[in-house]
């Protein structure tokens, strides 16, 4: 009996201490959390929230095409300039700029250099307009007079020349262009003694070590030229979006039909009208007399929903303070 007891104890000592495979106490390696959504995925999710209701124009800036011959290994100017322009356009309230990180994802995936590729990016982003840039000249140059090993005069110049085209995504038509040229010179020409480097010399030699767009970048001569050029482009782009080309001639803009929520006006492509332009609605002459309404008090704010023909568009109501009827007058709502 004693022998069997010892054998049983020895068998127990060899038994595994863990629970049987698949048991409730079995330890399992936790699953890795899913990766965070990309910039493109986050943007598309936000874009879907607008649905078919009132919304701002969406503008996408695609990477620039570089024809400047700017030295390699310094900055990726095609993407950096587009990113800087996007950041400056964000502060303009006239539209909503597509985050450049989302644009860059598509640009790296399918290319951006051609007009068709840029429009394809715009369509995938649900953008209304794309801005395509061309970098024509971009450099920081040095001019020396005298023997640099002994001493002499040295100056620097920086040039930033670029052009952008703004196109409607739905049909690819251009609504405007903007050009800029900034050519700055180091006016404070310094005298070098025995080849001793000055601050400008150090900037010139260490450009690739400066982060594009940083404060250090903006202190360089080329950075100053870049900032001024981008600022001028922003000003001209804003002007290109202004509805100054509206030509109504003898056609007084007015509401011509109202069917419940469907509202139509006698404005269209022949007048230079485009979707999401907004108009104040004022009572027509017959209503003013019949209902005793104030001709200077608007009854609604509407926006163009769809251009149907040369002289016909559907309207979408943004807000109302009264009823909209056929014959009501339309006036462009600037700044809305």
pLDDT by residue (tens digit) across 275-325? 888 899 999 998 988 889 898 999 999 989 889 998 999 999 988 889 999
Q: Which of the listed residues 214, 241, 268 is the one where a domain comes to its end?
A: 241
Domain that includes residue 232, residue range: 39-241
The answer as to whether 326 is a domain residue is: yes
pLDDT at residue 64 above 80?
A: yes
Contact 255, 315 (CB under 8 A): yes
Confidence grade of residue 229 (pLDDT, cut at 50, 70, 90): very high
Check whether residue 232 and residue 280 sit in a common domain.
no
Lowest pLDDT segment from 30-34, 49-53, 98-102, 240-244? 240-244
Check whether residue 61 and residue 114 sit in a common domain.
yes
Structural domains counted in the chain: 2
Q: Which residue has the higher pLDDT, 58 or 33?
A: 58
Beta strand spans in the chain (E): 57-61, 65-66, 95-97, 129-147, 151-168, 174-185, 190-193, 255-259, 262-265, 278-282, 300-309, 312-320, 329-332
Check whether residue 208 and residue 268 sit in a common domain.
no
Any residues with CB less than 8 A from the CB of 125 and at least 6 apart, and which? Answer: 43, 44, 47, 58, 60, 98, 102, 103, 106
The answer as to whether 26 is a domain residue is: no
Q: What share of the chain is helix, strand, coil (3-state, %, to 5)?
A: 30, 30, 40
Question: Looking at the chain, how many residues does it have?
Answer: 336
The answer as to whether 145 is a domain residue is: yes
Q: Which residue has the higher pLDDT, 152 or 328?
A: 328
The answer as to whether 19 is a domain residue is: no
Q: Which of 106, 25, 16 is nearest to 60 (CA)?
A: 106
- Highest mean pLDDT, choosing among 186-190, 220-224, 226-230: 226-230
Tens of pLDDT, residue by residue over 107-151, are: 999 999 999 999 999 999 999 999 999 999 999 887 765 555 444
Q: What is the pLDDT of residue 242?
A: 75
pTM: 0.71
CATH number of 275's domain: 2.40.10
Mean pLDDT of 48-70: 89
Confidence grade of residue 17 (pLDDT, cut at 50, 70, 90): very low
Q: Which residue has the higher pLDDT, 271 or 232?
A: 232
pLDDT at residue 181 above 80?
A: yes
Instruction: Classify burial at 303, counting beta carbons within 10 Å of its beta carbon; exposed 0-12, middle 13-18, buried 19 or more.
Output: middle
Q: Which residue has the higher pLDDT, 311 or 10?
A: 311
Check whether residue 302 and residue 229 sit in a common domain.
no
Q: Which residue has the higher pLDDT, 116 or 74?
A: 116
The mean of the pLDDT values for the chain is 83
Q: What is the pLDDT of residue 102?
A: 96
Q: Which residue has the higher pLDDT, 215 or 151?
A: 215
The answer as to whether 305 is a domain residue is: yes
Using alpha carbons, list the distances in angstroms from residue 48 to 40, 51, 53: 12, 6, 11
Lowest pLDDT segment from 20-34, 74-88, 289-303? 20-34
The answer as to whether 138 is a domain residue is: yes
The answer as to whether 136 is a domain residue is: yes
Q: What is the pLDDT of residue 245?
A: 61
Q: What is the pLDDT of residue 184?
A: 87
Confidence grade of residue 9 (pLDDT, cut at 50, 70, 90): very low
Check whether residue 65 and residue 206 sit in a common domain.
yes
Check whether residue 172 and residue 313 sit in a common domain.
no
Q: What is the pLDDT of residue 65?
A: 96
pLDDT at residue 221 above 90?
A: no
Check whether residue 151 and residue 236 sit in a common domain.
yes
The answer as to whether 34 is a domain residue is: no
Confidence grade of residue 3 (pLDDT, cut at 50, 70, 90): low
Q: Which of the listed residues 241, 270, 305 is the one where a domain comes to its end?
A: 241
Q: Which of the listed residues 241, 276, 303 is the one where a domain comes to its end?
A: 241
Mean pLDDT of 155-161: 87
Instruction: Classify burial at 113, counting beta carbons within 10 Å of its beta carbon; exposed 0-12, middle 13-18, buried 19 or more.
Output: middle
Check whether residue 209 and residue 265 sit in a common domain.
no
């Amino acid at each position: 009996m004693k022998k069997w007891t010892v054998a049983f104890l020895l068998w127990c000592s060899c038994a595994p201490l863990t629970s049987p495979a698949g048991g409730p106490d079995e330890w399992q390696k936790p699953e890795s959390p899913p990766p965070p959504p990309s910039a493109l995925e986050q943007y598309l999710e936000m874009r879907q929230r607008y649905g078919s209701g009132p919304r701002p124009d969406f503008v996408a800036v695609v990477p620039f095409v570089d024809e400047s011959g700017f030295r390699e290994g310094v900055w990726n100017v095609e993407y950096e300039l587009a990113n800087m322009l996007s950041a400056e356009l964000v502060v303009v309230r006239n539209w909503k700029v597509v985050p450049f990180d989302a644009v860059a994802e598509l640009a790296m995936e399918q290319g951006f250099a051609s007009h068709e590729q840029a429009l394809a990016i715009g369509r995938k982003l649900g953008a209304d307009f794309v801005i395509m840039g061309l970098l024509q000249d971009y450099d920081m140059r040095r001019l020396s007079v005298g023997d640099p090993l002994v001493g002499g005069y040295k100056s620097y110049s920086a040039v930033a020349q670029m052009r952008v085209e703004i196109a409607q995504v739905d049909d690819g038509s251009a609504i405007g262009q903007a050009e800029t040229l900034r050519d700055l010179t180091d006016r404070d020409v310094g005298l070098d003694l025995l080849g001793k480097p000055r601050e400008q010399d150090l900037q010139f030699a260490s450009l690739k070590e400066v982060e594009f767009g940083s404060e250090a970048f903006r202190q360089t001569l080329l950075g100053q030229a870049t900032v001024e050029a981008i600022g001028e482009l922003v000003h001209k782009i804003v002007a290109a979006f202004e509805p100054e080309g509206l030509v109504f001639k003898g056609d007084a803009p007015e509401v011509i039909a109202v069917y419940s929520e469907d509202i139509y006006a006698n404005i269209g492509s022949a007048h230079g009208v485009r979707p999401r332009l907004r108009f104040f609605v004022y009572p027509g002459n017959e209503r003013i007399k019949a209902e005793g309404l104030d001709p200077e008090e608007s009854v609604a704010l509407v926006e163009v929903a769809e251009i149907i023909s040369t002289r016909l568009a559907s309207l979408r109501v943004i807000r109302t303070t009264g009823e909209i009827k056929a014959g009501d007058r339309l006036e462009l709502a600037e700044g809305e």
